[in-house]
């Protein structure tokens, strides 16, 4: 399982590093909110990630904490989009354990790690503008946007997120304004465009989802990593 391989890689860097693991984005968000981590490794194929909105949500949850994408598919379009949305690296599941160790070490030290020879290049102005608008949403607004993308109505969203219904409506108004749209359908289309903007986009990693994360004061791949004492 890849989660075990990630944990092994982290232990090779420092046996004192702690690794938190999450099987869903919701679990990863809860861990990232409750504890301080040094690195987050995110598998875009976690059940509830919803494409790059999951990356945007984790990034908003823990500003300043490096996030690396883990994938079994070396898709340059995905790497480019992830980098534009703030990911610091991309780890291929096909990489040898030595390269995974090197990648995690660089990310923990605050550097960037993308496969050799990959030209992230420049994205289109339209894509950059869309990413900027999406990045302007607050954590609460991203949660509401992801909820309407799942077909939830205001009353259901209020119940799920423990909000008053007028608060949900207020978040929706802010989302529409920031995304320059006028209704829910257009907002959801903007979210979908975030995943399609660089190409017709080949599918994300469809391999089994092994959310492994290393904990050291950070969070890693659908798991979280921290290098201090164990997280309570």
Structure tokens at 11: 């232990």
DSSP 42: E
Which of the four pLDDT bands, split at 50, 70 and 90, describes residue 226? low
The pLDDT assigned to 222 comes to 53
Separation between Cα atoms, residue 55 and residue 25, nearest integer Å: 9
The pLDDT assigned to 83 comes to 87
Which carries the bigger pLDDT value, residue 130 or residue 140? 140
- The answer to whether residues 15 and 221 touch, using CB atoms and an 8 Å cutoff, is no
107-135 pLDDT tens trace: 999 999 998 767 776 666 777 788 889 88
List, edge to edge, every strand of the sheet that includes 39-43: 18-21, 223-226, 39-43, 67-71, 89-92
The pLDDT assigned to 24 comes to 86
Separation between Cα atoms, residue 140 and residue 30, nearest integer Å: 14
The pLDDT assigned to 186 comes to 96
Which carries the bigger pLDDT value, residue 140 or residue 132? 140
Residue 226: strand, helix, or coil: strand
Which of the four pLDDT bands, split at 50, 70 and 90, describes residue 212? very low
SS (H, E, C) 122-147: CCCHHHHHHHHHHHCCCHHHHHHHHH
Q: Classify strands 223-226 and 18-21 as parallel, antiparallel or unpaired.
A: antiparallel
58-103 pLDDT tens trace: 888 888 899 999 888 788 888 888 888 889 999 988 888 899 999 9
In this prediction the pTM is: 0.74
- What is the sign of the dihedral through the CA atoms of 158, 163, 164 and 168? negative
Residue 230: strand, helix, or coil: coil
Percent of the chain with pLDDT over 70: 81
Domains of the chain: 2-121+200-226 (3.40.50.2300), 125-196 (1.10.10.10)
Which carries the bigger pLDDT value, residue 8 or residue 124? 8
Asked if pLDDT for residue 21 goes beyond 70, the answer is yes
Structure tokens at 50: 């919803």
The pLDDT assigned to 205 comes to 35
The pLDDT assigned to 201 comes to 40
Separation between Cα atoms, residue 227 and residue 232, nearest integer Å: 13
Asked if pLDDT for residue 210 goes beyond 70, the answer is no
The pLDDT assigned to 224 comes to 62
The b-or-e profile of 156-192 (16+ CB within 10 A means b, else e) is: ebbeeeebeeebbeebbebbbebbebeebeebbebbe
Please, how many CA atoms are within 13 Å of residue 58, restricted to the half-sphere of its CB? 42
């Amino acid at each position: 399982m890849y989660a075990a391989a990630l944990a092994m890689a982290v232990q090779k860097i420092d046996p004192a590093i702690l690794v938190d693991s999450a099987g869903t984005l919701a679990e990863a968000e809860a861990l990232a909110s409750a504890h301080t981590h040094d690195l987050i490794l995110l598998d875009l194929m976690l059940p509830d990630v919803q494409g790059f909105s999951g990356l945007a949500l984790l990034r908003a949850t823990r500003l300043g904490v490096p996030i690396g994408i883990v994938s079994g598919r070396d898709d340059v379009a995905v790497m480019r989009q992830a980098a534009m949305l703030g990911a610091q690296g991309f780890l291929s599941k096909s990489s040898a354990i030595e390269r995974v160790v090197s990648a995690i070490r660089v990310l923990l030290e605050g550097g960037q790690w993308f496969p050799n020879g990959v030209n992230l290049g420049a994205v289109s102005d339209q894509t950059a503008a869309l990413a900027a608008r999406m990045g302007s949403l607050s954590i609460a607004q991203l949660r509401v946007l992801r909820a309407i993308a799942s077909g939830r109505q205001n009353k259901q969203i209020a119940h799920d997120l423990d909000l008053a219904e007028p608060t949900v409506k207020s978040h929706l108004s802010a989302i529409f304004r920031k995304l320059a749209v006028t209704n829910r359908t257009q907002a959801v289309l903007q979210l979908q465009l975030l995943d399609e903007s660089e190409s017709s986009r080949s599918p994300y990693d469809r391999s089994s989802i092994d959310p492994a994360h290393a904990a050291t004061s950070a969070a890693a791949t659908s798991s979280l990593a921290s290098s201090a004492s164990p997280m309570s």
